[in-house]
Amino acid sequence: MLALLLSLTLTAADGGPWHLVGPGGGGWIQSVAYSPHNPRTLFVGCDVGGFYRSDDAGASWRIQNSGLRDPFVQAIVPHPTKPETIYLATLSGPHRSDDGGRTWRLLRNGFPPTDRYRYTAPLGCLVMDPKAPDTLYAGIGSPREHKWGQGAVWVTRDGGEHWSRYNAAGTLPDDAIVSDILPRADGLLVVTSRGLYRTADGSTMTKLAGGLPAERTRYLATCASRPAVLYCTVESTPGKSPLDGGVFRSDDGGASWTRRVEGLHQWAKEGDGNRMLTSQYDHLAVDPANPDHVYVSGAAWVNAGVFGSEDGGLHWRRLTNTDKAHPPVNLDQGYIGWGPVPESWALHPADAKRLLFGTSGSVIETLDGGTSWKQLHTTALPGGEWRGTGVEVTCLWTLGPHPTRGDEWLLGYMDIANWRTTNAGASMARAMTGVSRDHDSTGTAYAWDPQAPDTVWAGMGQWGSNRGGLYVSRDAGRGWSLVPGLPEARVAQVVLDPTSPVSARRLWVNLSEKGLFTGPADGSDWQRADAGLTGPVSSLVWAGGPMALTDRAKDQPGGVWKRDAAGWQRLDKTPFAASMRALAVAPGDPQRLYVATRDDYIAPTFWPGGLYGSTDGGASWKRLFTDRFVSSVVIDPRDPRHLVVGTNDHPYHDEPLGHGVHESRDGGATWRDITDNLPLPNIACLAFDAKGRLLAGTGGCSLWWRE
């Protein structure tokens, strides 16, 4: 049995038994940077996937997370004179690498202690003093989430080994989110959600006005050759017209400001409080040799893209166009169909025509000042298929390997929905023909018919809201049709009754928040089927009949259930865990059950997580694997004593890492860590395919497999 002291270190993705596959991109690119030492070296940071490096100008990427204690990378800061030294800002604090990103070290000496239930030092920005590279400033808060502000700036003067609070308590509003810091010869300019401030030494903070709005400042940029010239972006009030935000310029170091918005899109739906439906402008970049050459990002759905000015912001023009109805289109996002809102970007330090930006799905670069753009995250292949370049930032929701065709898998992703591969991930196609646009975000569940090998049922829907439907495909997932009759809801599980005739199949379908249903697969007669269960169903399997796992319901722990002619019968007469995640039944032995659970607390009882096993059909249970959050468990169909568990964690607190993947070859008596070269230990789903490969879906680095 393994203890909770298993290593939290993420291992590198170079070499090793696990192989990465995926379509590329597809998730939030939170930070990007150029190396100042090699024009072909690029860096990317994801919100849930960690750090990525390319040494061939973005043609291919490596995930390098060894030692990284938080996969949310807010900022990347390369050292200007030490090519191997790189700093990262994460929600769990600052990290440093001294070997080009191959390994990382969390540097929190001086910060508050880490916490299991909250972020104590979420870095919203990390900035190096260009004249003293061992001096870095860190601002606290989440500019993206608009929360976690502490009105705090921290400083290190020894390369991150020791940190201290820079500004005195009370000099900034307590809830101020620090989104940007600009070191100056006479101190710092500090950009916050509560305004722009100047300070000489942190003992006092002076708010800058002179035409600049008093609140909602976002980012700041200056010209290296004329530092008196400053640009600042200000968030627009959602639903207010005319807009009150945009780009402001100062020619006197911040003493006075003028608004520069001519040519920028200025759209707002009056009274609509959604900030993404009001034109927003965010990131800035200024040519270091020409203060009038400036870029700004359009940061809302209604003005997404990059805008440029050659006259100091007096006139702006859009530099990106993805609208095929208004050619010429100069930006190809690959298979991505949304955006492109620049969520992060970087201007090359030696070439002001080279700009790299990341969206909530893409990595995009221009080499000619915005005349043309290329995407760096995916490669188009014949037949509408795609292969990622290694910058995989997707989250797997579920896996559906074909029961007999070993190289054929269905993959349910968040954001990019359902994908299909017939060659074990060497190439992939998005398989959404026939699916409603209301359900085109996420693949949520699969059930193949073992006697009709081209028939499969799937849940398609949204991960951010409870919308979805049950679909069926008769051509192995190429095209889909909606199965009628069920309430509109996300399909959490779908299970085939294998005893039903092939011509008249019956299904069991669990809908998120809407309950459990059973009926004929044509949708003609669905019946509610969860009467008697004491909580929401979290896992559903077939083992001589339907079996269900229920999660906790308020102050009642979850349980293990089996359906017979009399209805649902609870198998665990004495509860053994509260938060139930996954259920597995040994092939050929319905008495041998396994349940994955996570830590939970129902006053006054703490219910520990882990893997629990039963050899008597659920009457008694034994804890076989100790961990705070086991998310999944699978059994090798060729060997019922071969168990694999995946662990996970939620990104709501410091160091939100699971403990990777572990296997037992003796039914759970002993275990070994097989995380190996997986770069992210947060495992969302596991499956064996028909060739015996183990597939692991991660919450941020796509799909990995091993023999």
pLDDT tens digits, 408-428: 999 999 999 999 999 999 999
Which residues are bridge partners to 191 per DSSP?
Answer: 180, 196
d(CA 313, CA 81): 33
- Model confidence pLDDT, tens digit, residues 626-685: 999 999 999 999 999 999 999 999 999 999 999 999 999 999 999 999 999 999 999 999
Mean pLDDT of 258-264: 97
Count of CB atoms situated within 10 Å of the CB of 450: 13
Please determine, for residue 9, whether its predicted confidence score (pLDDT) is greater than 80.
no
Q: What is the pLDDT of residue 444?
A: 97
Query: What tens digit of pLDDT does each residue of 447-479 get?
Result: 999 999 999 999 999 999 999 999 999 999 999
pLDDT of residue 337: 86
Q: Please state, for a pLDDT cut of 90, what percent of the chain lies above it.
A: 96
- State the Cα–Cα distance between residues 41 and 641, nearest whole angstrom: 46
Give the Cα separation of 662 and 333 in Å (integer).
Answer: 37
pLDDT on residue 293? 98
In three-state secondary structure terms, 411 is: strand
Q: Which of 8, 75, 7, 17 is nearest to 46 (CA)?
A: 75
Q: Please give the residue that has the higher pLDDT: either 12 or 563.
A: 563
Residue 21 has pLDDT above 90, yes or no: yes
Residue 12 has pLDDT above 50, yes or no: no
Verify cis geometry, omega within 30 degrees of 0, for the bond prior to 242: yes
**Averaged over 121-141, what is the pLDDT?**
97
How far apart CA 649 and CA 683 sit, in angstroms, is 9
Backbone angles phi, psi at 334, to 5 degrees: 70, -135
Task: Note the pLDDT of residue 338.
Answer: 86
When pLDDT is cut at 50, 70 and 90, the band that residue 145 belongs to is: very high
Please report the pLDDT score of residue 324 as a whole number. 87
Query: Which residues, 6 or more positions from 577, have their beta carbon under 8 angstroms from its beta carbon?
Result: 557, 558, 595, 597, 600, 607, 608, 609, 612
Q: What is the pLDDT of residue 3?
A: 36
Q: What is the pLDDT of residue 434?
A: 98
Write down the pLDDT at residue 577: 97
Asked whether residue 158 carries a pLDDT value surpassing 80, the answer given is: yes
Tallying the residues shown for the chain, one arrives at 707
pLDDT in tens, 212-255: 999 999 999 999 999 999 999 999 999 999 999 999 999 999 99
Q: Does residue 508 have a pLDDT over 80?
A: yes
DSSP state of 314: S
What is the reported pLDDT for 6? 33
pLDDT in tens, 521-530: 999 999 999 9
What are 330-365's pLDDT values in tens digits? 999 999 988 899 999 999 999 999 999 999 999 999
Which structure tokens are listed for 393? 């930032």
Tell me the CA distances in angstroms from 602 to 46, 80, 119, 592, one per residue in order.
34, 52, 23, 28
More confident residue, 4 or 85: 85
- Averaged pLDDT, 557-569: 96
pLDDT at 85: 98
DSSP string, 634-660: EE-TT-TT-EEEEE---SSSSS-----
What is the average per-residue pLDDT within 179-199?
97
Q: What is the mean pLDDT of the chain?
A: 95
> CA angle at residue 83 from 677 to 110, to 5 degrees?
75
For residue 396, the model assigns a pLDDT of: 96
Mean per-residue pLDDT, 380-386: 96
pLDDT tens by residue, 278-310: 999 999 999 999 999 999 999 999 999 999 999
Q: CA 150, CA 214: separation in Å to the nearest integer?
A: 18
Burial of 553 (0-12, 13-18, 19+ CB in 10 A): middle
Q: Report the SS3 class of residue 137.
A: strand
User: Does the structure show a pLDDT above 50 at 13?
Assistant: no
For residue 16, the model assigns a pLDDT of: 73
